[in-house]
Each structure stands twice: as C-alpha cells, then as structure tokens.
Amino acid sequence: MSNVAIRNLQIQLGGNKVIESLNLDVKAGEFVVLLGPSGCGKSTLLHSIAGLIDTSAGQIEIGGKDMTWADPKDRGIALVFQSYALYPTMNVEANMSFGLRINGTPKAEIARRVSRASDMLQLGPLLKRKPANLSGGQRQRVAIGRAIVREADVMLFDEPLSNLDAKLRTELRRELKQLHKQLGATMIYVTHDQVEAMTLAQRMAVMKGGVVQQFDTPDVIYNTPANLFVATFLGSPGMNLFKGELEQQGAKTIFTNEHLSVDVTGYPFKQPLTGKHACVLGVRPEDIDVGHSDGVDVSAAVRASVSLIEAMGAHRVVWLDFHGTQVAGIVQDQQQIETEKEISFSIRTNRISLFDGASEQRL
C-alpha cells in the first residue's frame, strides 16, 4: 500500500493552466474519489499521477518517494480507463496477462495472478473469449482485471462505469467497493456522477476549474458544504437557496428576506457576525417539512402552493411555488397532497447551511 501526496501541482496544457497549485493527500489504502463537472481537470490530475502528463510545477509523491519525473512503469500504479482499451485480437486471458508477459513475469506467477483476478471478477468462464464477444460490463471487468493482475499499490480509475447502463453501473460499483476491501490497494477514482462518488468514496475531493473546493468524507461534504458550488453540485433535487440578510435582534440572529424570517441563533457560525450581512440560506429538500410542523427545530411555517408532485416510490418530491421561487421538499409520509392547493412548509433550522452573499463561502 502506498500513499499519494500532491504538492502545489500545476499543469499547463496547450497554454491553458488546467490545474493550479493543487494539494491532495491520499492515505495508504484509502479510496478517494475526484468529483466535479466535465472539464474541471479530473482526468488531467489522474493522468499526471500516472505519469502520462508532465507537470509544470509542484511535486507528486507515491509511497513516500518523489515520483514527479518517474517513468509511468516505475510508479507502482495501474490505470483503468472509461474506454476499455482491450486488444481486440487477444482473448480475455491474454488481455489480462499482456503487461505481465511483456515484463517477463514467470509463467506460474502469471497464471496465479490471472486466476485470482478472474475469480474476483467472475471472469473464469470467459477467459477464452475475444472482447468482441463480451458485453460492455464484461469488457470493463476485463479492463479492471488487467489492472488487478499488476498488483499495483495504487489503482487509478477514470470514469470506468460511464459507458455502462444504469443497472450494470450500480452492480459494478458494489463490486469495486468489495474489490477495494479485498485488495487493500490505494484507489483514486474519477467521476462526474455524485451518486457514484458518495457511495464509493471514503473521502472525496470536489473540484471546479482545476481547484479542489472541499476534501472530506461524503457525509461531511453533503451536510456541511464548504461553499455554494459544492452545496449545489451534490444532491438531487439540489439544495434550496434563499437570498437574504442576517441581522442581530437582541441575543438572536435572524435570517430575513421579503417573505421569510428564520431564527438561526443556534447556527454554528465559523466566526461571529456583526451588523447586517448579505447571505444565502441553503436547505436540502429532505429538511423542508411539508404540510405539518413536527414541532422540533422548525422555523415558523409559511404558505406556498403545490406546483408539482414527483412520485419516487419510497418518497415524493413536492415542488412548492413560494412567491415565484420553486422550493423542493421530500415527503416520506402518506399525507394527501394535491397540486395547485395551498400548503404550509417550514425549514428545519438545525439542518441549514449559510453562505456569505459575496464570497459564497460557508459562514
């Protein structure tokens, strides 16, 4: 097992600064996910760890050694791409063992590793097949198998499940998580899919424009997003946002705007506020109490009209028209709710996020 430490990394591609002064510490044996929208520099970062892209400045350390300029084959890493990149003329077994044969690994050792990997990935019955005769999921399993047989300390994945249909994606996702437990390797996994990130990661780095916005456990990032970008990138439907002002009223801190007044005195502010403060209040749909007040930690209820109800099976997403703003609430109970009728809702104030109106950083 190896740690991966990235220090002040800068990468320029075709005159663009794609990554600027990035720092990231991945512990040995950890499963870290890089999450962000398309074009934010995830693949660039991953490929620089693999040694496929030169760095412009900074340092990449793998297993305690400076690997910034090391040859890809000397870094102790294995990389799995989105496109499976299998050799079409070779069968599964030959595809998996290719790298080992090239570097002269003894035959018995190759057989041991291929058999272990094919057991883990249920590829045993497919070893003699060519890639053309495999499904997408099976091909990606072979590509993962090819990485496993290298017995690398660090495994890098670049959106490996993106080409698969939804059902297969969730299956293979669970398998990858199991695989991580079995192998104990350090894994760095790139995706733009928040569900994949949340379910796989021990810690995840949310990226935007080549900059890590927040690096923490999925739980901490979901519940206490560091800024508005992270807050809105995670969650479906997204976090509801209300613009307004914070002000002190005696011993209380109150969030107000034209239509809302919310007592936020109990909010764990990072720094004490003085005077009036432009602010955005964020609350997730599951923290909007629709239809009734359960009496615990809720702000005074306000009225809205129901614009849309989405049945999700286990719950309903209820969209509320609140003075022209659409507010999403998640309803778990069986209460009768009808569109175009008025209903009350309230905000669970112990579950809110507050952001600075100008910097968009968490208060």
Ligand X SMILES: Nc1ncnc2c1ncn2[C@@H]1O[C@H](COP(=O)(O)OP(=O)(O)O)[C@@H](O)[C@H]1O
- Interface ranges with ligand X (CB under 6 A): 13-14, 16, 18, 36, 38-44
The residue to which tokens 């350090």 are assigned: 186
41 or 285: CB nearest Mg ion: 41
CA distance 350 to 352: 6
Q: How far is the CB of 159 from ligand X (least distance, A)?
A: 8
How would DSSP label each residue in 256-299? E-SS-EEE-TT---SS---S-EEEEEEE-GGGEEESS--SSSBP
CA distance 162 to 83: 9
Q: How far is the CB of 74 from Mg ion (least distance, A)?
A: 24
Is residue 194 involved in binding Mg ion (CB under 5 A)?
no
43 or 68: CB nearest Mg ion: 43
Write out the binding residues for Mg ion, residues 330-349 only, by CB under 5 A. Answer: none
Is residue 43 involved in binding Mg ion (CB under 5 A)?
yes
Q: How far is the CB of 37 from ligand X (least distance, A)?
A: 7
The SS3 of residue 127 is: coil
42 or 173: CB nearest ligand X: 42
Distance (Å) of CA 319 to CA 147, 307, 337, 349, 350:
45, 6, 11, 19, 22
39 or 72: CB nearest ligand X: 39
Residue 362 DSSP symbol: B
Is residue 191 involved in binding Mg ion (CB under 5 A)?
no
Q: How far is the CB of 97 from Mg ion (least distance, A)?
A: 28
Other beta carbons within 10 Å of 159: 20
185 binds, among Mg ion, ligand X, none (CB under 5 to 8 A by kind): none
51 binds, among Mg ion, ligand X, none (CB under 5 to 8 A by kind): none
Q: How far is the CB of 157 from ligand X (least distance, A)?
A: 12
117 or 221: CB nearest ligand X: 221
Residue 131, φ and ψ in degrees, nearest 5: -50, -35
Is residue 48 involved in binding Mg ion (CB under 5 A)?
no
Region near Mg ion per CB under 5 A, out of 43-51, 210-218, 273-281, 337-345? 43-51
42 or 316: CB nearest ligand X: 42
| Runs of H (alpha helix) within 103-225 | 107-120, 136-148, 166-183, 194-200, 218-223
The SS3 of residue 168 is: helix
Q: How far is the CB of 311 from Mg ion (least distance, A)?
A: 35
Is residue 44 involved in binding Mg ion (CB under 5 A)?
no
Residue nearest to Mg ion (CB): 43
- Contact present, 32 and 191 (Cβ < 8 Å): no
Other beta carbons within 10 Å of 239: 23
221 or 354: CB nearest ligand X: 221
Per CB under 5 A, residues contacting Mg ion are: 43
